[in-house]
Amino acid sequence: MVEQSRLEMIRAYAETRGCRREYLLTYFGEPFEGPCGNCDNCLMGLVGQDGATAEPFPVGSQVRHVQWGEGQVLRYEDDKVTVLFDAAGYRTLGVGLVLEQGLLESARPG
Domain range for 47: 2-106
DSSP secondary structure letters along 18-76: S-HHHHHHHHTT----S--S-SHHHHTT---STTPPP-SS-TT-EEEETTTEEEEEEEE
> What does the pLDDT profile of the chain (110 residues) look like in tens digits?
778 888 888 888 888 878 889 888 888 888 887 788 888 888 877 776 544 456 788 888 899 999 999 999 988 887 889 999 998 999 999 988 888 899 999 987 65
Q: How many domains does the chain have?
A: 1
Contact, 34 vs 14, CB < 8 A? Answer: no
Alpha-carbon distance 65 to 75, whole Å?
A: 16
